[in-house]
């Protein structure tokens, strides 16, 4: 088993409709990079359009790439990535924050091409890894990624559905990944292939962890069943567990998640969080200086655990190349 750490690297205020986007949080990334390097970890930064246009970000990430210290991939927010349309939902910084999976083939193709070119201009290397904002992946997005020579996507959130999350007005919401495998998969089209390396999200409590069909039934029906909601309140409030360093994540939950991944022979464990979580007050998860110190304490302990288990680190693209071979 190998470890991948990904950072959705984006604006400070990309949820605030109508405000000019800022990227002050990028100035807090280098501390995280230094911690990763201390443990021999090479992170993957998945960057948005607004980050690519920032001169500080360009200098920082181009140095990381040139010195082979990190990978820089693409993170598509449809509401901040040109081109835009005048209709509601498709406008720049639109309040609906629509999923890429709701876009037409033509529009998502133009946006991904634009973002790919932005990243190349910013860091001097064409990106080959991708995550869709709000996890908005579907067959159309996969097709466009393959056509643009991406190697790997990491948008899938196993055991989680986003259909209840709003996107386009009168739309159907986001994708449903409840039935998706936590294992890597290969998507194929006439143009080529794309490796999917999901974010690591697993049930860790019996019987959900012992039979993923039971887990999928539970997660699909829990919101509509009084009995299942009672079970969630009594036993399963933490389920499924994301490999994500949120404030409610404990060392025990992290250890149980890694143990479960090893038990089912998962080849990669993929952690994700956001660059805004590195800056005090920029994320609801990290409101002040102490919460940032708590984050670094959690990451340090987890990196020690990974190292003690002999688990090595890979970037997303390196993992995809390994998986393809």
Question: Are 57 and 119 members of one domain?
Answer: yes
Residue-wise pLDDT tens digits, 142-180 = 999 999 999 999 999 999 999 999 999 989 999 999 999
Mean pLDDT of the chain: 96
Domain boundary among 185, 214, 239: 239
Question: Are 232 and 125 members of one domain?
Answer: no
Give the strands of the sheet with 185-189, arranged side by side.
185-189, 192-196, 152-153, 129-132, 71-76, 44-47, 2-9, 268-274
CA-nearest of 147, 152, 155 to 78 is: 155
pTM assigned to the model: 0.97
Distance CA 275, CA 157 (A): 19
Question: Are 227 and 117 members of one domain?
Answer: no
Question: Are 139 and 168 members of one domain?
Answer: yes
| CATH code, domain with 165 | 3.20.20.370
Question: Are 16 and 108 members of one domain?
Answer: yes
Distance CA 116, CA 98 (A): 20
CB 198 within 8 A of CB 158: yes
CB 269 within 8 A of CB 258: yes
CA-nearest of 5, 10, 3, 325 to 151 is: 325
CB 96 within 8 A of CB 168: yes
* Structure confidence at residue 13 as a pLDDT band (50, 70, 90): confident
**Burial profile 79-97: b = 16 or more Cβ within 10 angstroms, e = fewer:** bbbeebeeeebbeebbebb
CB 44 within 8 A of CB 5: yes
CA-nearest of 282, 310, 215, 242 to 3 is: 310
Domain extent for 17? 2-201+241-324
Strands 152-153 and 192-196: parallel
Please report the pLDDT score of residue 123 as a whole number: 98
Question: Are 229 and 258 members of one domain?
Answer: no
Q: Max Cα separation, the chain? A: 55
**Burial profile 17-46: b = 16 or more Cβ within 10 angstroms, e = fewer:** eeeebebebbebbeebbeebeeeebbbbbb
Question: Are 107 and 214 members of one domain?
Answer: no
Residue with tokens 């196993």: 158
Residue-wise pLDDT tens digits, 185-199 = 999 988 899 999 999
Beta strands, E only, the chain: 2-9, 44-47, 71-76, 129-132, 152-153, 185-189, 192-196, 201-202, 241-242, 268-274
Question: Are 195 and 258 members of one domain?
Answer: yes
Please report the pLDDT score of residue 190 as a whole number: 87
Residue-wise pLDDT tens digits, 115-128 = 999 999 999 999 99
* Structure confidence at residue 325 as a pLDDT band (50, 70, 90): low
Question: Are 31 and 95 members of one domain?
Answer: yes
- The full length of the chain comes to 325
* Residues near 66 by beta carbon (within 8 Å), at least 6 away in sequence: 124
Per-residue tokens: 124: 């001097």
Strand partners, 130: 74, 153
Question: Are 103 and 229 members of one domain?
Answer: no
Strand partners, 45: 7, 72
* Residues near 301 by beta carbon (within 8 Å), at least 6 away in sequence: 251
Average pLDDT of the segment spanning 262-273: 98
Phi, psi angle pair for 47, to nearest 5°: -105, 145
Strand partners, 247: none
Tally of domains within the chain: 2
Question: Are 284 and 254 members of one domain?
Answer: yes
Please report the pLDDT score of residue 178 as a whole number: 98
Average pLDDT of the segment spanning 4-11: 98
Distance CA 175, CA 67 (A): 37
Question: Are 92 and 217 members of one domain?
Answer: no
């Amino acid at each position: 088993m190998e470890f991948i750490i990904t950072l959705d690297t984006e604006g400070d205020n990309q949820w605030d409709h109508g405000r000019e986007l800022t990227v002050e949080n990028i100035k807090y990334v280098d501390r995280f990079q230094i911690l990763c390097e201390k443990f021999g970890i090479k992170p993957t930064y998945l960057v948005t359009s607004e980050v690519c246009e920032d001169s500080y970000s360009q200098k920082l990430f181009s140095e990381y790439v040139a010195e082979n210290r990190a990978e820089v991939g693409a993170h598509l927010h449809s509401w901040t990535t040109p081109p835009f349309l005048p209709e509601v939902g498709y406008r720049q910084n639109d309040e609906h924050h629509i999923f890429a999976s709701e876009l037409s083939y033509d529009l998502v193709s133009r946006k991904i091409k634009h973002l790919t070119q932005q990243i190349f201009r910013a860091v001097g290397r064409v990106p080959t890894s991708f995550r869709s904002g709000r996890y908005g992946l579907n067959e159309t997005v996969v097709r466009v990624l393959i056509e643009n020579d991406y190697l790997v996507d990491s948008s899938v959130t196993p055991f989680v559905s986003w259909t209840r999350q709003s996107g386009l007005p009168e739309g159907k919401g986001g994708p449903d990944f409840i039935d998706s495998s936590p294992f890597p998969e290969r998507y194929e089209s006439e143009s080529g292939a794309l490796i999917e390396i999901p974010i690591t999200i697993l049930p860790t409590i019996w019987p959900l962890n012992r039979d993923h069909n039971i887990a999928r039934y539970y997660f699909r029906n829990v919101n509509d069943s009084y009995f299942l909601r009672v079970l969630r309140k009594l036993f399963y409030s933490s389920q499924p567990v994301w490999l994500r360093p949120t404030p409610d994540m404990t060392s025990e939950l992290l250890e149980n998640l890694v143990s479960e991944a090893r038990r089912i022979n998962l080849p990669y464990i993929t952690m994700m969080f956001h660059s805004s979580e590195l800056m005090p007050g920029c994320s609801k998860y990290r409101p002040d200086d102490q919460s940032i110190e708590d984050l670094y304490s959690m990451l340090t302990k987890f990196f020690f655990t990974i190292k003690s288990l002999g688990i090595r680190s890979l970037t997303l693209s390196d993992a995809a190349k390994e998986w393809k071979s």
